[in-house]
Structure 1
Amino acid sequence: MSTTTGSNAPLSQTNDTPAELSPGLVRFKHIILALVLSVVFFLIFCFIALHAYIAWVLSNPTVAPLYSNPKLAKDMNYESVTFHSIDGKRDINGWYIPAERSNKTIVLSHGYGANREETWVPMYDIAHYAHNMNFNVLMFDYGFASQTSKEVATGGKEEKRQLLGAIEHVKQRGAKQIVVWGFSMGAGTALQAGLETKDVDAMILDSSFLLEPDTLYHNIHNQINLPRHPSLEILELLFPVLNGTSLDQIPYNEVKKNDYPFPTLFIHGTRDDKAPYPIAEKIASNQTHPDSDSWIVENAHHELIFREHPREYLRRVSTFLGKLQSPDNAGM
């Protein structure tokens, strides 16, 4: 018996060449890949477009037209006034309600999505109370609420300049004591303006809304369940395009750590679904002025505290205003 070895051994032949795909199968794979990529890009486009729509809506709130005036609403005589924002870039319209022989003035700073009437507060009742306390009262519209030359809302960047213009206006009319009474974003705007002026003697801040990443996402999440990231990053890229304002231009960190030189009264509800009350608590806790105070109201809602607790609301405000030094005695 013999065996064959070495170079004489027969070798089994194998074919290592892969089978070629038919042209039809290659075309099918390309079609599937194209469809998958199209769906992915379409979903990305829709996701970004949704955020662009949200940013546009937030920048362009729907504001109802004026329906009354101080005379019709509360039998208060008034003047229609126009003044400039502090930088002179915008004309602001409002009503000035004079008190008899008074050099004290309250400037009412309305909230987002409202005009100077802000009916749900209700602002006419606040103005009437202030007038009965012998304060002159200025009610005015921020640019986003203008009936003649509407502008975008900027979370306080431009609004603070308009508020500073209002403060300058009443100062020029002889006000020796100026109190800013703000609601929601109007309160947050007042806090931003307070960083830049020495003409304010006190602030009353109801349901303070300060635009920052946390409150922005909180309000969006209340309406639609979007992920925090990358939603915030996308919105931060879109806002400068749609309203010319970056969140970095809102001094929210400075506001949250600032100790204001004038007395402040913070009023906030624990069931506020737009401006979480711990932010107001934090800012209030920084204040060292002996006349500063805060009132955190259990189960009260955003900007509805006066409606829900009118007597206690006015009692606390009256006590706060009563502690202010008389402008006639200032500097004595």
Structure 2
Amino acid sequence: MVGLLAGLNRYLHRSLAAPREPLRGSLGDHGLTGKTVRISTRKSRQLTGWWLPGHAAGGSIVIAHGWGTNREVMLPLARPLQAEGWNVLLFDMRNHGESDGDDFSSMPRFAEDIEAAVDWIRAQPGHADQPVGLLGHSVGGAAALLAASRRDDIAAVVSLSTFAHPADMMRRWLKWKKLPFFPVGWYVLRYVERVIGHRFDAIAPIHTLPRIRCPVLLVHGRDDPVIPAADAERLHAHRGTTPTTLRLLPGQHDLSEHLETHFSTLHDFLEQAVACRESTDRRAATGRPSTPTR
């Protein structure tokens, strides 16, 4: 029995590992202006990213990719944000793209890397007090919610195609693998929790979203076959007092094409969130009472 479980654990570790997708081009190949940067994260690992400075420099956006992809796939969103004057930081998570490897990937580790990216921006000259927003896709979106729930210095979060609860994602994976929930599926969920060091309930977006203290925009494709739109509706229903907007768009899991069409919705949300944050910060600095936003 011990040998059987050890073999199952090795199979699960391999099956759940994130594939490393190589980048296909440089910033110059994409016609963008910026530079390649290295960001220190947990366990002395280094993340590789692109820093795209905006002309207005009124705020910065950290963009987080999803599972098994890399920073390059998020360029369709980075390009218009930079054109509107935002500083944009795209980076590869550990075990992804050109960043260092680690023993495993997980949504909490994505969140750690997002926080490392925020800290990197804060350490740049002139950026210590600048508004920073988070934008993440799929697992990156869930990680952005988790990271924002731990911090007071995030101005806004845009979460794209995000699941409501990781246990539901695991159940869908088990169904795809044609594995029964009892006893195999139950063991898989407990094994993953033990490996990542977190209970699913503690990191589930439906539980982290209500702890966030800035505006959140949830965007989801109506025909998403990977994470159903019902997850976005469930997540929105569990928002608590967090100011949260839900937008269901045409499209599936990859929303880049449709978001380009609806970019004004995303940009207006970020502009309003940052303006609200700056107004609140000014009132706090002058000692005047602020109007509650929740």
Conserved? CA contact 1:267–1:296, under 8 Å: yes
The Cα offsets for residues 257-315 of structure 1, whole Å up to 9 and x where unpaired, read as 6242101110012332322333322332325455x3111235x311x22324631x212
Q: Given the alignment of the two structures, is residue 271 of structure 1 paired with residue 223 of structure 2, yes or no?
A: yes
Q: Mark the CA change 1:240 to 1:188 in structure 2 (over 3 Å): closer, same or farther.
A: closer
Aligned to 1:79: 35
Match of 1:67 among 7, 14, 24: 24
Q: Secondary structure at the match of 1:233?
A: helix
Gaps of 5+ in 2: 284-294
Q: Measure how far apart 1:71 and its partner are.
A: 2.5
Q: Given the alignment of the two structures, is residue 323 of structure 1 paired with residue 272 of structure 2, yes or no?
A: yes
TM-score by length of 1: 0.73
Q: Measure how far apart 1:49 and its partner are.
A: 4.6
Please list, as runs of the form range in 1=range in 2, the aligned pairs for 1:241-256 lying within 5 A after superposition: 244-248=195-199, 251-252=203-204, 255=207
C-alpha separation in 1, matches of 2:267 and 2:256: 13
The structure with the larger Rg is: 1
Q: Given the alignment of the two structures, is residue 202 of structure 1 paired with residue 156 of structure 2, yes or no?
A: yes
Conserved? CA contact 1:191–1:255, under 8 Å: no
The Cα offsets for residues 18-46 of structure 1, whole Å up to 9 and x where unpaired, read as xxxxxxxxxxxxxxxxxxxxxxx8xx94x
C-alpha separation in 2, matches of 1:72 and 1:155: 31
Aligned to 1:183: 137
Aligned to 1:19: none
Conserved? CA contact 1:236–1:247, under 8 Å: no
Aligned to 1:301: 252
Question: Which residue identity lines up with residue 321 of structure 1 in the other structure?
Answer: L
Conserved? CA contact 2:53–2:87, under 8 Å: yes
Q: Given the alignment of the two structures, is residue 213 of structure 1 paired with residue 143 of structure 2, yes or no?
A: no
Q: Measure how far apart 1:109 and its partner are.
A: 0.5
TM-score by length of 2: 0.82
Aligned to 1:33: none
Q: Mark the CA change 1:191 to 1:309 in structure 2 (over 3 Å): closer, same or farther.
A: closer
Aligned to 1:107: 62
C-alpha separation in 1, matches of 2:256 and 2:99: 30
Gaps of 5+ in 1: 1-40
The more displaced of 210-219 and 199-208 is: 210-219
Conserved? CA contact 2:62–2:134, under 8 Å: yes
Q: Given the alignment of the two structures, is residue 158 of structure 1 paired with residue 114 of structure 2, yes or no?
A: no
Conserved? CA contact 1:94–1:141, under 8 Å: yes
Conserved? CA contact 1:212–1:247, under 8 Å: no
Q: Mark the CA change 1:202 to 1:240 in structure 2 (over 3 Å): closer, same or farther.
A: closer
Q: Given the alignment of the two structures, is residue 90 of structure 1 paired with residue 45 of structure 2, yes or no?
A: yes
Aligned to 1:57: 15
Conserved? CA contact 1:156–1:189, under 8 Å: yes
Equivalent pairs, count: 275
Q: Measure how far apart 1:320 and its partner are.
A: 1.1
Aligned to 1:169: 120
Q: Secondary structure at the match of 1:157?
A: helix
The Cα offsets for residues 96-138 of structure 1, whole Å up to 9 and x where unpaired, read as 11112514101101100111112xxxx2121111101100010
Conserved? CA contact 2:205–2:235, under 8 Å: no
Q: Secondary structure at the match of 1:197?
A: coil
Q: Measure how far apart 1:51 and its partner are.
A: 6.8
Match of 1:231 among 178, 184, 187: 184
The more displaced of 249-258 and 89-98 is: 249-258
Question: Which residue identity lines up with residue 95 of structure 1 in the other structure?
Answer: W
Aligned to 1:35: none
Q: Mark the CA change 1:328 to 1:235 in structure 2 (over 3 Å): closer, same or farther.
A: closer
Q: Mark the CA change 1:296 to 1:287 in structure 2 (over 3 Å): closer, same or farther.
A: farther
C-alpha separation in 1, matches of 2:180 and 2:98: 36
